Structure 1
Amino acid sequence: MIVLVMFLMECLPRSIVSWNTMIAGYTQSGEDVQALKLFQRMHREGRQLTEFTLSSTICACAAKYAINECKQLHTIAFKLALDSNSFVGTAILDVYAKCNMIKDDACWVFEKMPDKTLVAWSSLFAGYVQNGLHKEALCLFRNAQREGVKLTEFTLSAIISACASLALKIEGTQLHAVIVKCGFHGNFLAASLVDVYARCGQIEKSYALFAYMEQKNVVIWNAMIGGFSRHAHSWEAMILFEKMHQLRIFPNEVTYLSMLSLCSHAGLVEEGRHYFNLLISDRTVEPNVLHYSCMVDVLGRSGKTDEAWKLLHKMPFEPTASMWGSLLGSCRNYNNSDLARIAAEQLFQLEPDNGGNHVLLSNVYAASGNWENVLMARKYLKDSGAKKEMGRSWI
């Protein structure tokens, strides 16, 4: 369809509406690079830029986390006096929030907006939560309430997520009451509530809410499976996974990640292999580095360190420091000093300033009684200048 529209644009006289329609079409269909290229062409030809042109193009930047392009578009908007427009301002705010520039740039854009729409408020709430600033999100929510800002499902979903991350049971229960009072029934809100009760240790209440929902999408199923996984309810999580298949609700990458994490912490090696093989054979889900990291952990924790090492070499990604660290820790537990040295060498390259890796390797040698290598590992730690971070405790 887009190809046809492009052909018509080449043949017919182009107006500002047709330019905006094409850029918005590219953005909505996920072809963000094409949207940016079309904007560049439009700008070079000296076409008039409107708030709709800029907001659509900035949304394309958000999808690609293209912060440099967003700053350039922000400058253009400022020159054209369109930065105060609610559509443009909200789009810029969203990009800054997604690029971890929430405290300075995103908040500054929000404060400068003369008309703070509900979408702008929701974007700022979501930005705080996505950047791990949960307490700040709750403070902003209190300010919004004092200003009489209308509550939306997106706003409440973000704030409930903040409560879940901080395990705030009382605030989560209060927000549940607000949702019931407002008459909201969205799937995202239900998933957030299931998550907050599970994270606060009320797994029975979480499941009761899950069971009460008549229409459940994959997000709600993931929230409940994740809750069971965190509380080591292995069989309940696996039963839910099977029920998903029976109801033809197809798992996504989050579902598989929860199942693999569960198998890792519960020591369920064969089950972990089963879910990993399902993931590899699932054409609708693309395995990512987190899935492989979990599977390496599953194998390592069960003592199958050689198999974990082979998986690291077979996967289509470069092994991360956390993967090598997991393997090194497993080698320490199962006295595999040869593989521990290989994992440690990789960690020395990836994390040259982390002295903890040197200490862990020396502990592996000590467990196997190889005191000569213990001295060498400690000497290398001293010569490298790396420092081990001291442990801390609240007690």
Structure 2
Amino acid sequence: MYHPHSLVHFLRHVSFPPDPHLLPTALKSCPTLPLARALHAAAVAAGVARDPFVASSLLHTYLRLGATADARAVFDGTPRRTVVGWSALVAAHAASGDAEGAWRLLGEMRLDSGGVEPNVITWNGLVSGLNRCGRAWDAAAALARMHGEGLLRPDATGVSCALSALGDVGLVSAGEQLHGYAVKAGCGADACVVTALIDMYGKCARAEEVVRVFDESGHMDVASCNALVAGLSRNAQVSEALRLFREFVGRGVELNVVSWTSIVACCVQNGKDLEAVDLFREMQAQGIEPNSVTIPCVLPAFANVAALMHGRSAHCFALRKGFLLDVYVGSALVDMYAKCGRVRDARTIFDAMPSRNVVTWNAMIGGYAMQGEAAIAVRLFDSMLMCKQKPDPVTFTCVLSACTQAGLTEEGQRYFEEMQNEHGVSPRMEHYACMVTLLGRAGKLDEAYDLISDMPFEPDGCIWGSLLGSCRVHSNVDLAEVAAEKLFRLEPENSGNYVLLSNIYASKKMWDGVNRVRDMMKDVGLKKEKGCSWIEIKNKVHMLLAGDDSHPMMIAIIEKIKQLNIEMRRLGFVPRTDFVLHDVDEQEKDDILAVHSEKLAVSLGLISTSPGTALRVIKNLRICGDCHEAMKFISCFEGREISVRDTNRFHHFRDGKCSCGDYW
């Protein structure tokens, strides 16, 4: 390739005029617009600027460098304007987002002397250019016009481009018609068409068609794999995506970093965090190096299962590769450390980031909110405003959540009002849910109910669930029944709502109510969601399920729990059996409480780590009052710091106390 300085030197010192063979070669390598214009001037001076090869090279060089006006001037100066030149101009205008200019050129093209009709290349350039620049509707319109004129039949390239556009705008019926055309035209088996079909059906929420197209095509290449995983992921078909991905791996298809990143992201987005962690490790074992997209994709999985050591390894890798300058990588690291309970580490990364976006600020504020450190979260929010970073709806969810965790009722109400009045952010459902929880947790259940009644839109399950949760804290049966009735209509298959109401009845010893709720669950075929906890021990994440005895160390775990119970009772601990939903005797209730997943996880940690080692547990449900009290006792007599992150917040147990101050 020519270096710019060598080209300038050539132009200044050449002793013979550039000829039509030399100039096209130089133009092909030309890196900058000033140099292209210099070469153009040399061509004019040598009298070869109107040569067909030189003119064509000048046209394409100017278009490549984004100088459409210069390109049009060259094109207008050519003795014979061909369909190739017109097509290049149309494609360039389309790719720059100038749909009107592209259509205008098509009209000029047909009015040109002699009349030049667009060909397949012209239409392909128009459709693909419009789609690439985000004007999918215009691309779909171009396809419809092309078909309507009946003059041309799209080839495989045109079909692929058009399918992508139709998928972006969700026109599945048009996509199906184009699919039928592709089969009839004999290009349905083309690799690019197959990939585009998978992509289109995935974007249009047709998961069955995604798999059918793949199965019928028999294509096992990296492009179809990537489209397949992305399509199934969009439609929450993670198990099928994993199965087919394993099939690609088993067949020896050479997958790339995009393939592995896609399947990792698919697992994370659909709650398969352990699978995402395993795939990330397997990816590295296969010799595929993660990139700056892979790291932010996998870090949420480490956060969700408390895999702190894995997260630190990813952090070190990002540091070695220079990815920390990427704001998305930095934001994901902040979020990971915060969700693993390492808010100081998160803040260190946050402070060191050269640039931050609203996601970064939200991750840090949300991290403090989960820790119950409302004062710091609020101060950070003020710093965000001072840095001229505009808060978004998520920001206010984090701020309101921080106020909720700390019981800052008045402050929360003030931020709720300022959100719209000062920052122009209209309250959404999640903001009202935060306010209902804030008021309800403070015992202001009637105010919370009034707020729901005055909402400008119909309350959803999240709102009524917030009220029901507050009724559980204050054992308010009357309002709980109102909220539960709404929830049973809105979310008939959500077992958690039935369990919450049953909890409230059980706490009041209203066993008829408990039995009635249990019968309702049976009638709709629901079972109580099992508690699940994760704990990382020696770089391995263990998952413990309530009442499940499949863990290889379960005998030792249960034995440890028995020892803990004996010691706790000796110290005066009495199990809070009001958290058991069954009308059974007290001994059975003790046994039920003993196998809650967080107790299993902590017991495993105690027998698997050296004395004094801090334990970090993550749970999929809200920690119950009995386990909360038990953790305080265990932290005291075992001399351990125990962190439990439930669905609401972190609980840091140390020396018999919890960081939440028993307010959660």
Q: TM-score range by the shorter chain?
A: 0.7 to 0.9
The reply on whether 1:54 has 2:160 as its aligned counterpart is yes
The equivalent of 1:154 in structure 2 is: 293
The reply on whether 1:94 has 2:230 as its aligned counterpart is yes
**Cα distance 1:35–1:216, how it changes in 2: closer, same or farther (>3 A)?**
same
The reply on whether 1:350 has 2:490 as its aligned counterpart is yes
1:259 pairs, out of 399, 421, 424, with 399
Letter in 2 for 1:165: N
2:385 pairs, out of 242, 245, 251, with 245
Q: C-alpha distance in 2, partners of 1:283/1:21?
A: 43
Task: Show structure 2 runs of 5+ residues with no match.
Answer: 1-96, 110-116, 195-218, 531-545, 547-595, 601-664
The reply on whether 1:80 has 2:190 as its aligned counterpart is yes
1:279 pairs, out of 394, 400, 419, with 419
Q: C-alpha distance in 2, partners of 1:127/1:260?
A: 30
Deviation at 1:151, TM superposition (A): 2.4
**Cα distance 1:174–1:336, how it changes in 2: closer, same or farther (>3 A)?**
closer
TM-superposition CA deviations, 1:154-180 (whole Å, max 9, x none): 012212222122111111111111112
**Cα distance 1:335–1:376, how it changes in 2: closer, same or farther (>3 A)?**
closer
Deviation at 1:81, TM superposition (A): 3.5
The reply on whether 1:104 has 2:240 as its aligned counterpart is yes
Deviation at 1:145, TM superposition (A): 1.6
**Cα distance 1:54–1:80, how it changes in 2: closer, same or farther (>3 A)?**
same
Q: C-alpha distance in 2, partners of 1:223/1:383?
A: 40
Q: C-alpha distance in 1, partners of 2:315/2:274?
A: 19
Q: C-alpha distance in 2, partners of 1:66/1:16?
A: 22
Q: C-alpha distance in 2, partners of 1:383/1:170?
A: 44
Letter in 2 for 1:79: A
Q: C-alpha distance in 2, partners of 1:37/1:254?
A: 36
Deviation at 1:59, TM superposition (A): 7.1
2:304 pairs, out of 122, 140, 165, with 165
**Cα distance 1:196–1:88, how it changes in 2: closer, same or farther (>3 A)?**
same
Aligned-residue sequence identity (percent) comes to 32
Deviation at 1:209, TM superposition (A): 1.5
**Correspondence 1:1-395 to 2 at 5 A:** 2=98, 4-5=100-101, 7-8=103-104, 11=107, 12=109, 13-16=117-120, 19-20=123-124, 23-24=127-128, 27=131, 32=136, 35=139, 39=143, 47-51=153-157, 54=160, 57-58=163-164, 61=167, 79-82=189-192, 83=194, 90-105=226-241, 108=244, 111=248, 116-184=255-323, 185-281=325-421, 285=425, 287-334=427-474, 338-352=478-492, 382=519, 385=523, 389=528, 392=546, 393-394=596-597, 395=600
Deviation at 1:80, TM superposition (A): 3.0
**Cα distance 1:57–1:89, how it changes in 2: closer, same or farther (>3 A)?**
farther
TM-superposition CA deviations, 1:215-260 (whole Å, max 9, x none): 2222221221121111111111111111111110111222122112
Contact 1:156 1:175 in 2 (8 A): yes
Secondary structure class of the residue paired with 2:302: helix
Contact 1:70 1:95 in 2 (8 A): no
Letter in 2 for 1:48: P
- Bigger CA radius of gyration: 2
Letter in 2 for 1:238: V
**Cα distance 1:388–1:113, how it changes in 2: closer, same or farther (>3 A)?**
closer
TM-superposition CA deviations, 1:38-86 (whole Å, max 9, x none): 556656756424457536744763x678889889888968533433575
Secondary structure class of the residue paired with 2:293: helix
Q: C-alpha distance in 1, partners of 2:242/2:143?
A: 23
Letter in 2 for 1:102: V
Deviation at 1:16, TM superposition (A): 4.4
TM-superposition CA deviations, 1:254-292 (whole Å, max 9, x none): 212211222222222222223323333467656443233
Q: C-alpha distance in 2, partners of 1:49/1:19?
A: 10
Secondary structure class of the residue paired with 1:308: helix
Contact 2:276 2:301 in 1 (8 A): yes
**Cα distance 1:25–1:89, how it changes in 2: closer, same or farther (>3 A)?**
farther
Deviation at 1:353, TM superposition (A): 5.8
Over the aligned positions, Cα root-mean-square deviation in angstroms equals 4.0
Secondary structure class of the residue paired with 1:153: coil
Q: C-alpha distance in 2, partners of 1:171/1:363?
A: 37
Q: C-alpha distance in 2, partners of 1:89/1:41?
A: 32
Letter in 1 for 2:403: C
**Cα distance 1:107–1:28, how it changes in 2: closer, same or farther (>3 A)?**
farther
Q: C-alpha distance in 1, partners of 2:383/2:101?
A: 44
Q: C-alpha distance in 2, partners of 1:376/1:204?
A: 46
Whichever structure has more helix as a proportion of its residues is 1
Letter in 2 for 1:137: A
The equivalent of 2:535 in structure 1 is: none
The equivalent of 2:564 in structure 1 is: none
Q: C-alpha distance in 1, partners of 2:369/2:130?
A: 39
Contact 1:195 1:223 in 2 (8 A): yes
Q: C-alpha distance in 1, partners of 2:224/2:105?
A: 25
Tell which deviates more after alignment, 5-14 or 253-262.
Answer: 5-14
Whichever structure has more strand as a proportion of its residues is 2
**Cα distance 1:317–1:2, how it changes in 2: closer, same or farther (>3 A)?**
farther
TM-superposition CA deviations, 1:118-167 (whole Å, max 9, x none): 33332222222212222222222222222221321001221222212211
Secondary structure class of the residue paired with 1:160: helix
Deviation at 1:380, TM superposition (A): 7.7
**Cα distance 1:91–1:381, how it changes in 2: closer, same or farther (>3 A)?**
closer
Contact 2:143 2:162 in 1 (8 A): no
Letter in 1 for 2:297: A
Deviation at 1:360, TM superposition (A): 5.4
Tell which deviates more after alignment, 335-344 or 244-253.
Answer: 335-344
**Cα distance 1:18–1:261, how it changes in 2: closer, same or farther (>3 A)?**
farther
